[in-house]
Amino acid sequence: MLDVDVRHTAAGLDLHYAFRTDAVVTGVFGASGAGKTSLLHLVAGLLRPTGGRIALDDTVLFDPAAGVDVPVHRRRVGMVFQDDRLFPHRTVLANLRYGMRRGDDGSPTLEEIVDLLGLRDLVERRPRTLSGGERQRVAIGRALLARPRVLLLDEPVSSLDLARRGRFLALIARIRDRFPIPMLYVSHDLTEILSLTDRLLLVDEGRIAGHGALHEIVRDTPAWERLRELGPVNVLRLRLLVHDERAGMSRFRLIGSADAPDTELVGPITTLPKNASVLAAVRPEDIALALAPVEGISIRNQVRGLVTRVSTHADRSLAEVDIGAPVLVEVSHQTVREMALEPGRPVRCLIKSNALRYLGSEPD
């Protein structure tokens, strides 16, 4: 459990972060300049709060009232920055070994990290000979080998292209599943975060504007307005089945719950290989609802779903629909009344094929 309640003043702005999280990955989301990086620096000890308390499980890291301010090197906090910050004169192996802690607490070993991150063929090379994605893999390996009690990732894929971004996110997901080290993952791209977790800290002007699971946060109107203006909030995991070059489309199967194993969708044609696992984003306003299949329409995706909740906001309503994976659909208040949208209502989600935006993939 990470328990934070701190204040700080920077550039004339009074920052206040208060939250508790026990998720393996908590996404820290907000616009550029919202104060996301400052939060990480306060947790790591790179910035000293003007007051408050930080605790990780049963260890207090900062509490001036109790005379506690654990220095950076003793907090066992791993950080991965936007730039890799590797030592250019050291080999990959030497970079990995720098700051490495040994112990029998189940933390990953050097051999495990080298294999997990695919670094076996890189260990004798120097950072300048590596690609951006390779350098970031080394950086996260070095952070993990320090046996951190919490891992802080500050927009680690912002400098990578789409293909490398997808592979790196898949790597973070494997680390999440294999080594359940608590992570705070910062990004200004909500879809990036949602590919890893639905637990969010919404940061706005140095404050926590929303905290919890995505489908809880969106029920709060101010938080939903911030999320809505900053990007898509639906991320689907798809398996590529086949390319139809004549139609200019690729066909996918939704990777979701066992209740919907045959849900298929089509999207813009890609060059990805068959059976690739693909992340795709779609905006809530790009999904329409129908009570039955619609004939004579150009929309190719008409997916069965079940309404699980409807939230009312100032100008629109938000329907939460289970299609084998949860999606949010933005509709008018009138639509809610006319279609009698309520929990348990069967619907069809109509999604234009070109509304799917691919975020990245990792071939199986």
State pLDDT tens for residues 334-351.
Answer: 999 999 999 999 999 999
Q: Which residue has the higher pLDDT, 56 or 276?
A: 56
According to the model, what pLDDT value does residue 257 have? 59
Instruction: Given CATH 2.60.40.10, say whether it is the number of domain 234-362.
Output: no
According to the model, what pLDDT value does residue 55 have? 96
Average pLDDT, the chain: 89
CA nearest neighbour of 232 among 222, 218, 219, 253: 218
- Highest mean predicted confidence (pLDDT) among 120-124, 288-292, 315-319: 288-292
- Is residue 162 predicted with pLDDT exceeding 80? no
According to the model, what pLDDT value does residue 258 have? 57
**Residue 235, helix vs strand vs coil:** strand
Section 22-38 average pLDDT: 92
Segments of the chain assigned to CATH 2.40.50.100: 234-362
CA nearest neighbour of 208 among 55, 36, 355, 364: 36
> Which band of pLDDT confidence, cut at 50, 70 and 90, is reported for residue 50?
very high
Instruction: Give the helix/strand (H/E) hosting 18.
Output: strand 13-21
Start-to-end C-alpha separation, the chain: 34
According to the model, what pLDDT value does residue 105 have? 63
> Which band of pLDDT confidence, cut at 50, 70 and 90, is reported for residue 259?
low
Section 197-216 average pLDDT: 92
The DSSP bridge pattern shows strands 357-362 and 277-282 to be antiparallel
Segments of the chain assigned to CATH 3.40.50.300: 2-230
According to the model, what pLDDT value does residue 188 have? 85
- Is residue 161 predicted with pLDDT exceeding 70? yes
- Is residue 364 predicted with pLDDT exceeding 50? no
Section 106-118 average pLDDT: 85
- Is residue 317 predicted with pLDDT exceeding 70? yes
pLDDT-above-90 percentage for the chain? 59
According to the model, what pLDDT value does residue 254 have? 93
* Contact by Cβ (8 Å): 283, 309: no
Retrieve residue 107's tokens.
């933390």
How far apart CA 288 and CA 182 sit, in angstroms, is 37
> Which band of pLDDT confidence, cut at 50, 70 and 90, is reported for residue 362?
low
The DSSP bridge pattern shows strands 51-56 and 2-10 to be antiparallel
* Homologous superfamily assigned to 2-230: P-loop containing nucleotide triphosphate hydrolases (3.40.50.300)
Contacts of residue 170, defined as CB under 8 A and 6 or more positions apart, other chains included, come to 277, 360, 362
